[in-house]
Amino acid sequence: MSRKPFIAGNWKMNLTRAESVALAQGVVNGLGGVSSGVELAICPPFVYLDAVAAVVKGSQVGLGAQNLYFEGNGAFTGEVSAAMLTDIGCRYVIIGHSERRALLGETDSVVFKKTRAALAAGLTPIVCVGETLEQREQGKTSEVVRSQFLGSLGELTAEEAARVVLAYEPVWAIGTGKVATPQQAEEVHADLRQLITSHFGQAIADGMRIQYGGSVKPDNAKELLGQPNIDGALVGGASLKAESFLGIAAAAV
């Protein structure tokens, strides 16, 4: 089964409003070099979603958020619900990014609840898993990724799982300039594909897209995206410049 490549830019906590609008405009203006068969999304900070939504409306570029809360509404000061995201024009949301797991204490059970809330609202969740350098050096990559996968997604129904995008992001390769070799990345992606198969069945595994995240750049994108089980990229630093983000997107054919 052919899976549509999906490139998403995670802007994290960067840029001003004016810079965000300019970056989004630069991405939209540069779409001529990107195949229409590639799915694209950009994920600005919450406070700039509205401004960026206006720029990407009607284009090939979808709007995503970097997080949400699993409750629908109520006394949850500082949180943002799935309904708020869809109301502002979001189609995607990143859930369980390693920075949120490591720095902000998000657990697998919280990631699961957020994923289910996103799905219930019609959002496409990009659910992240990945190991630290210490865990990789201890030979625990497979164990850690399996545990995160089962804890974050294991209780979904097959129908729900079919609407999830998975992102493998080795923590040691995020923002460090270190990149998993295409072979290292493919090995984990293949393991994840097998996990999906055993848990949700062959049809779901054949259809679910697994992005790679971790210092993806235009010069390494083609080889990474050329691996059989790597279906796109969750791009951090390189998504903060239109030229480099579009360069990665152009490699996804």
Q: Identify each DSSP E strand in the chain by its residue range.
A: 6-10, 39-43, 61-65, 92-95, 124-129, 165-168, 210-212, 232-235
Residue 169 annotated to the active site? yes
Q: CA 41, 6, 105: angle at the middle one, nearest 5?
A: 70
- Say which of 97, 99, 186, 189 is annotated catalytic: 97
Burial class (CB in 10 A: 0-12, 13-18, 19+), 87: exposed
203 strand-pairing partners: none
The angle that helices 49-56 and 17-29 make with each other, rounded to 10 degrees, is 20
- Say which of 39, 106, 131, 169 is annotated catalytic: 169
Q: Is 228 helix (H, G, I), strand (E, B) or coil?
A: coil
Residue 97 annotated to the active site? yes
Contact 215, 178 (CB under 8 A): yes
- Which residues participate in catalysis according to the annotation? 97, 169
